[in-house]
């Protein structure tokens, strides 16, 4: 039942994230069907393109973050993760500062880093800079830092990342935090979280 509960929560989370860009595509198509003004049609096409790109980027990102990724190789170059992160942040007010290099990591470690990136991205409601770092020198260190106006994370969210939680105590939005903690635990790592004024740092050493 635990796996089913988590799957249900993650499905709800994905639907919540996709409903806005998919609805925007539909709105753009409705405008194109009824509107004759050239300027309005151009605006509608721009809306469709940007919204479709946003939905596609989120789907590709979450497919690796939340999925089994069974078809992936055991080790993955971080350049692949960088491309996903660039698509996620592209066209948004969040700038990506990638400092991870061309490291090869176990696919579960890459999933953990991508979940860190998603959490950091969502911690920047008004934009800012998302710093991403990874180093493999014996142990593997993963870190993200989200900096920007109104950068925020609730202490309850930080507690889930650090210590986990009972599935009965979390909602769909928090399901990704629960999953991130579980991935880190599987890798024998503890997630550290630092919350400062307009800055959030998340990291782990594997």
| pLDDT 10s digits, 101-121 | 767 888 899 999 999 999 999
Q: Is the pTM of this model over 0.85?
A: yes
Q: What pLDDT is recorded for position 194?
A: 95
Do 144 and 133 touch, CB atoms closer than 8 A? yes
Tokens of 52: 């479709």
Instruction: Say how many domains are in the chain.
Output: 1
Between CA 94 and CA 179 the distance in angstroms is: 24
Which domain covers residue 112, as residue numbers? Answer: 2-205
Average pLDDT, the chain: 89
Residue 146, sorted as left (phi over 0), alpha (psi -120 to 50) or beta, turns out to be: beta
CATH code of the domain in which 155 resides: 3.30.565.10
State the pLDDT confidence band at 73, using cuts at 50, 70 and 90. Answer: low
């Amino acid at each position: 039942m635990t796996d089913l509960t988590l799957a249900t929560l993650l499905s709800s989370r994905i639907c919540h994230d996709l409903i806005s860009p998919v609805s925007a595509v539909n709105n753009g198509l409705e405008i194109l069907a009824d509107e004759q003004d050239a300027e309005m049609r151009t605006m509608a096409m721009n809306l469709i393109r940007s919204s479709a790109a946003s939905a596609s980027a989120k789907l590709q990102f979450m497919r690796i973050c939340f999925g089994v990724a069974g078809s992936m190789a055991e080790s993955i170059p971080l350049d692949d993760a960088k491309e996903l992160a660039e698509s996620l942040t592209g066209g948004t007010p969040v700038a990506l500062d990638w400092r991870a290099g061309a490291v090869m990591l176990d696919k579960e470690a890459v999933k953990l880093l991508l979940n860190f990136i998603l959490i950091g991205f969502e911690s920047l409601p008004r934009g800012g800079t998302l710093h991403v770092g990874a180093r493999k020198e014996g142990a593997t260190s993963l870190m993200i830092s989200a900096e920007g106006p109104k950068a925020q994370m609730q202490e309850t969210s930080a507690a889930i990342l650090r210590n986990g939680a009972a599935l009965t105590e979390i909602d769909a939005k928090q399901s990704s935090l629960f999953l991130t903690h579980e991935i880190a635990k599987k890798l024998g790592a503890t997630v550290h979280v630092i919350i400062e004024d307009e800055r959030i740092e998340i990291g782990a050493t594997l």
